[in-house]
Amino acid sequence: MQLIPMQLGPINPDVESLAVGVVLFGSLYVFVRRMVLRVNRVLEERATILEGVTGGPAAELRREAERIRAEHEATLAEARHEAAQVRQQAREEGAALIAAAREDGVRERDEVLAGGKAGIETERVSAEAELRGHVSELASELASRIVGEPLAAATGSGR
């Protein structure tokens, strides 16, 4: 059966389909309305809880927690500062020890060099004195090699 007794095509619905649609729409409307009321109630409860957190005893607890956190951060900052000072002091002491060791090393090196130079000088002087005694012999031997005849070595110093 059709709602309007004329041939209108798809615009003219069946009465049975229309009745089912109205019943389904009504039941869906009631269900959604109840859900919307529950959601609104939950949102209102949430708003009151949030207002309590921002202005009630929870807010005092939050401020206390923030104060304690600030104290801890200040303590940590102070500890970091002290640690930096200790590190700096250790660096300075290490640099002073290195400088002292370097000075000791330079001093010991200079002493070894001075001792070595003195030893070399005494060996040079003794070698020179020894060679001065043999100069006349070496000179006559060299002259005899050059001339090709044996020459007598001059005794004494030629100077």
> 131-146 pLDDT, tens per residue?
888 888 888 888 888 8
**53-65 CB burial, b ≥16 within 10 A, e <16:** eeeeeeeeeeeee
Residue 14: beta bridge partners? 2
Q: What is the pLDDT of residue 159?
A: 43
Whole-prediction pTM: 0.41
CA 120 to CA 127: how far, in whole Å? 10
When the pLDDT of each residue in the chain is averaged and rounded to a whole number, the result is: 86
Q: What is the pLDDT of residue 32?
A: 96
What would the DSSP string read from start to end of 18-38? Answer: HHHHHHHHHHHHHHHHHHHHH
Higher pLDDT, 78 or 12: 78
The tens digit of pLDDT for each residue in 29-80 reads 999 999 999 999 999 988 887 776 666 666 778 889 999 999 999 999 999 9
> Do residues 158 and 136 make contact, with C-beta atoms less than 8 angstroms apart?
yes
Q: What percent of the chain has pLDDT over 90?
A: 54
Measure Cα distances from 130 to 116, 117, 123, 136, 156 in Å: 21, 20, 10, 12, 14
CA 44 to CA 42: how far, in whole Å? 5
Q: What is the pLDDT of residue 135?
A: 84
Q: What is the pLDDT of residue 63?
A: 86
CA 2 to CA 17: how far, in whole Å? 10
Q: What is the pLDDT of residue 146?
A: 87
pLDDT at 158 over 80: no
